[in-house]
């Protein structure tokens, strides 16, 4: 079988580092044969790495999709507010699509993409990478085996990590719902997807609370300048001092590459980025408006309840899920890559490791790579069913996130059936 030929639209962090590397490891299955990005540095980086013919390199997705179809599929890895248009255009051209989450920042646009894909008969997989991580596949397998009986309640915590919040949701790309999307969609559409998938039933009602409590001007220390490099008198005691966090050799490649916008983030480029770019701003003086903590209570069919928490104020990026069943209790830590299952009959607790030997822990517990592997399988007709995040399923879990945001803002309990009907009327 010939390898699947893919065009990467948006050669940023996700396009370049999360998904395209699968082609280098598996050239018999996937080849990156085109790239579109206005940044010459990123485009060139991708062209050289994947040996892409120069005539297949474009300065925008628009220019790339103007050409009659010349590959099997596209990876849409542009920013949140730049998914709808390339997705609609790619569907029209007949490309299958690996579409970054969120599908789109409004419920209406999500539904329009879903409908267009269905009508055109193209496959669209949404990048809910956690569903492809060994850890959550194991959780799902245990639940489906009946080992812990029927699910009664789930307690799920998304620990964003204080530094991650400061980077992405205070200073960075996802800090303002007007320019990206609400945080429950940007960050936690993955969690809504996991919950819907693991429970295997529809969400019936929900309510939510949350706000931007800390990363705002109210908490700005006296005399702090707008940029960390402008002689901040609080530099030594501020955990978010940009020079300290970005220019340290301990900072991960991902943060350094994102802060500089350069796949080769040298110390010189980092200092320049901190001095002049968005990542050098005082975290208490940014244009951010997304929440730093939020809770959602959800009810699913069959009297299943869920308490979901997303909060910035945690030392590490982590997801912890506790599933309370009629016959047993499951606790999982994605960071530790472990699941503990307690049987109520025997009282015995079994510890299960979930590290994926093939993909390792990097990239969402191996989910980034697992997603591309399954995208190839779906296109080859080798994988179907609810293990993959086909757009129809993803649209449903996105609607839960949109409803949660509406509840948080309006202070009301949302009935999902009514909410969905209201959304359908808008399409
Ligand atoms: N699935 C996940 O777990 C996950 C994790 C992080 C981010 N994301 C999502 O992935 C998307 C990309 O995030 P990222 O961190 O890679 O962002 P990024 O900013 O690093 O990459 C986006 C790229 O799009 C390019 N671009 C801008 N205009 C363009 C155009 N007209 N045509 C082609 N390219 C254009 C930019 O130059 C940039 O290189 C976002 O929607 C984000 O929310 C998903």
| Three-state SS annotation for 295-330 | EEEEEECCCEEEEEEEECCCCCCEEEEEEEECCEEE
Q: Is the CB of 39 under 6 A from ligand 1?
A: yes
Is 59 a pocket residue for ligand 1 (Cβ < 6 Å)? no
The CATH superfamily assigned to 150-215+289-325+390-426 is: Dihydrodipicolinate Reductase; domain 2 (3.30.360.10)
Yes or no: say if 56 and 65 are a contact pair by the CB < 8 Å rule: no
Low-confidence ranges of the chain (pLDDT < 50): 360-361
Nearest CA to ligand 1 atom 3: 129
Distances (CA, A) of 209 to 230, 329, 408: 36, 27, 5
The pTM of this model reads 0.95
Does any ligand 1 atom lie closer than 6 A to the CB of residue 79?
Answer: yes
**Ligand 1 pocket check for 191: Cβ under 6 Å:** no
E strand map for 41-104: 57-58, 73-76, 96-99
pLDDT at residue 203, as a whole number: 98
> 364: closest CA among 181, 101, 36, 143?
101
37 CA distance to ligand 1 centroid (A)?
Answer: 10
126 lines ligand 1 (CB under 6 A): no
E strand spans, 3-123: 4-9, 30-36, 57-58, 73-76, 96-99
Give residue 144's pLDDT.
98
Beta carbons within 8 Å of 46's beta carbon, 6+ residues apart: 8, 11, 15, 16, 20, 32, 35, 37, 52, 57
16, 124, 137: which is closest to 74 by C-alpha? 124
**38 within ligand 1 shell (Cβ under 6 A):** yes
**Which residue lies with its CA nearest to atom 7 of ligand 1?**
14
Q: Which atom of ligand 1 is nearest to the CA of 16?
A: 16
Give the separation between CA 83 and CA 65, rounded to whole angstroms: 13
Predicted local distance difference test score (pLDDT) of residue 358: 52
Nearest to 7 by CA among 86, 122, 101: 86
CB distance 73 to ligand 1 below 6 Å: no
Q: Count of CB atoms within 10 A of residue 61's CB? A: 25
Domain locations in the chain as residue ranges: 4-126, 150-215+289-325+390-426, 217-280
Nearest residue to 389 (alpha-carbon basis) of 181, 119, 134, 103? 103
SS3 call for 283: coil
How many C-beta atoms surround the C-beta of residue 197 within 10 A? 20
Q: Is 404 left (phi over 0), alpha (psi -120 to 50) or beta?
A: alpha
Burial of 335 (0-12, 13-18, 19+ CB in 10 A): middle
CA of 400 to the centre of ligand 1 (A): 23
Ligand 1 pocket residue status of 101, Cβ below 6 Å: yes
Task: List, as one string, the DSSP characters of 161-186.
Answer: -HHHIIIIIIISTTS-TTTS--HHHH
Going from the Cα of 5 to the center of ligand 1, the distance in angstroms, rounded, reads 20
Sign of CA dihedral 411, 189, 262, 74: negative
Domains 4-126 and 150-215+289-325+390-426 share a fold: no
For the domain spanning 4-126, the CATH number is 3.40.50.720
pLDDT by residue (tens digit) across 370-397? 999 999 999 999 977 778 899 999 999 9
Residue carrying the six token digits 């990542």? 279
- Alpha-carbon gap, residue 361 to 355, rounded angstroms: 7
The predicted pLDDT at position 316 comes to 87
Which class for 184: exposed (0-12), middle (13-18), buried (19 or more C-beta within 10 A)? buried
Specify the pairing of strand 96-99 against strand 73-76. Answer: parallel
Mutate to test the pocket of ligand 1, among 80, 100, 174 (most ligand atoms within 8 A of CB): 100
């Amino acid at each position: 079988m010939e390898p699947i030929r893919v065009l990467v639209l948006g050669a940023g962090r996700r396009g370049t580092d999360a998904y395209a590397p699968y082609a280098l490891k598996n050239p018999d299955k996937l080849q990156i044969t085109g790239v579109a990005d206005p940044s010459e540095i990123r485009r060139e980086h991708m062209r050289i790495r994947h040996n892409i013919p120069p005539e297949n390199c474009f300065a925008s997705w628009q220019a790339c999709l103007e050409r009659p179809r010349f590959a099997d599929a596209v990876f849409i890895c542009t920013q949140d507010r730049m998914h709808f248009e390339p997705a609609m255009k790619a569907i029209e051209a007949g490309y299958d699509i690996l579409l970054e989450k969120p599908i789109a920042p409004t419920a209406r646009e999500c539904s329009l993409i879903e409908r267009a894909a269905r009508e055109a008969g193209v496959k669209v997989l949404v990048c809910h990478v956690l569903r492809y991580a060994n850890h959550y596949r194991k959780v799902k397998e245990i639940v489906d085996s009946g080992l812990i009986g029927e699910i009664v309640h789930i307690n799920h915590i998304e620990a964003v990590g204080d530094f991650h919040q400061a980077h992405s949701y205070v200073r960075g790309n996802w800090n303002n719902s007007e320019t990206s999307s609400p945080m429950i969609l940007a960050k936690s559409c993955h969690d809504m997807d996991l919950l819907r998938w693991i429970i295997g039933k529809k969400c019936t009602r929900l309510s939510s609370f949350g706000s931007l409590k800390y990363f705002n001007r109210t908490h700005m220390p006296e005399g702090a300048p707008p940029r960390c490099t402008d002689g901040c008198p609080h530099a030594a005691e501020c955990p978010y001092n940009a020079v300290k966090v970005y220019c340290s050799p301990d900072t991960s490649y991902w943060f350094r590459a994102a802060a500089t916008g350069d796949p080769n983030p040298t110390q010189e480029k980092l200092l320049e980025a901190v001095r002049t770019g968005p990542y050098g701003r005082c975290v208490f003086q940014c244009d951010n408006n997304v929440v730093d903590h939020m809770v959602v209570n959800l009810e699913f069919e069959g009297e299943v309840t869920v308490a979901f928490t997303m909060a910035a104020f945690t030392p590490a990026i982590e997801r912890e899920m506790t599933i309370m069943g009629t016959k047993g209790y499951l606790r999982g830590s994605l960071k530790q890559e472990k699941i503990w299952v307690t049987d109520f009959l025997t009282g015995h607790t079994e510890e299960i490791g979930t590290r994926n030997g093939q993909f390792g822990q990097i990239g969402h517990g191996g989910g980034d790579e697992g997603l591309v592997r399954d995208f190839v399988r779906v296109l080859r007709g080798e994988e179907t069913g609810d293990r993959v995040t086909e757009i129809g399923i993803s649209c449903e879990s996105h609607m839960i996130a949109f409803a949660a945001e509406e509840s948080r803002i309006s202070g009301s309990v949302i009935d999902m059936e009514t909410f969905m009907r209201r959304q359908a009327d808008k399409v």
